[in-house]
A and B are shown apart, each in its own frame.
Chain A
Amino acid sequence: NAGVTQTPKFQVLKTGQSMTLQCAQDMNHEYMSWYRQDPGMGLRLIHYSVGAGITDQGEVPNGYNVSRSTTEDFPLRLLSAAPSQTSVYFCASRNSAADQETQYFGPGTRLLVL
């Protein structure tokens, strides 16, 4: 299993541009989530999904959209990037059965908005 994968690893955007951060997992995990990591603040939850077709907001959802059309994929969309969205983005997943409470993270996407 590849686990949780994220693309791209690094991206530079101009203010106002849009982009999609990709996240995929091959562990058949029901739960997936997106976090952002900013210096000195730990990680904060943006959006999460408890299964295909079901998403909900986390702590800092503004400026981001998500959808979950398949179990494997959970893309994060920035419709109009802002410098405040410069951050490192992590996708995570967890199993609803065994080891259900532990979230496993992807390698991260570093985003710079100019």
Chain B
Amino acid sequence: AQKVTQAQTEISVVEKEDVTLDCVYETRDTTYYLFWYKQPPSGELVFLIRRNSFDEQNEISGRYSWNFQKSTSSFNFTITASQVVDSAVYFCALSGFSGGYNKLIFGAGTRLAVHP
């Protein structure tokens, strides 16, 4: 079975603070992909990043960085110097080879509120 757990339901920070969103996953597939999506208050789902199971390199994109660790089955997301525009619900998701990559398994999401 595949499962994604985002234990943090809500996080509240003050602008310019760093914040890390946790994601832990379970899968029996050896080949799989992990994703982060952002859902701002307007409701659309915005793709942020994809990482495959064979690439454990951390990635940095501007104020965003991702830490993928297969040993702990985690794919955490850090926002540095948070801004009010970062306020959104963030979803971690998984798709595996056994599902033909057609089935995205989502976590329940973490609601991030950044206050001025």
Binds B, one of A14-22, A64-72, A77-85, A97-105: A97-105
Count of A-B contacts judged by CB separation below 8 Å: 56
* Interface of A, helix, strand, loop or mixed by DSSP: strand
Stretch binding the partner chain, chosen from B11-19, B55-63, B73-81, B99-107: B99-107
Cross-chain contact B91 with A48 (CB below 8 angstroms): no
Residues of A in contact (CB 8 Å), total 26
B38-70 vs A, CB cutoff 8 Å, 1 = contact: the mask equals 000001110100101000000000000000000
Known contacts A101-B52, A104-B47, A108-B43, A44 near B100 by CB under 8 Å: no
**CB-contact partner of A103 in B100, B104, B107, under 8 A:** B104
How long is the Cα–Cα vector from A107 to B109 in the complex, in angstroms? 18
Query: How far is B2's CA from A45's CA once the two chains are assembled, in angstroms?
Result: 13
On whether the beta carbons of B103 and A102 are closer than 8 Å, the reply is no
What is the interface size of chain B, counting residues whose CB is below 8 A from a CB of the partner?
23
**Is the CB–CB distance between B33 and A101 below 8 Å?**
yes
Interface string of A34-73 (1 = CB under 8 A from B): 0100001111110010100000101100000000000000
Residues of B within 8 A of A43 (CB): 45, 91, 93, 104, 106
User: Least Cβ distance of B109 to chain A in Å?
Assistant: 6
- State the CA gap A105–B35 with chains docked (Å): 13
Please measure, in the bound complex, the distance between the C-alpha atom of A42 and the C-alpha atom of B44, giving whole angstroms: 13
Complex Cα–Cα for A90 and B116 (A): 31
Q: Is the CB of B50 within 8 A of A44?
A: no
1/0 per residue A84-114: CB within 8 Å of B? 0000101010100000111111011000000
Residue of B43, B101, B104 touching A107 (CB-CB under 8 A):
B43
Seen from chain B, the residues whose Cβ lies within 8 Å of a Cβ on chain A are 4, 9, 33, 35, 37, 43-45, 47, 50, 52, 91, 93, 95, 100-104, 106-109
- Contacts from A to B (Cβ < 8 Å): 31, 33, 35, 40-45, 48, 50, 56, 58-59, 88, 90, 92, 94, 100-105, 107-108
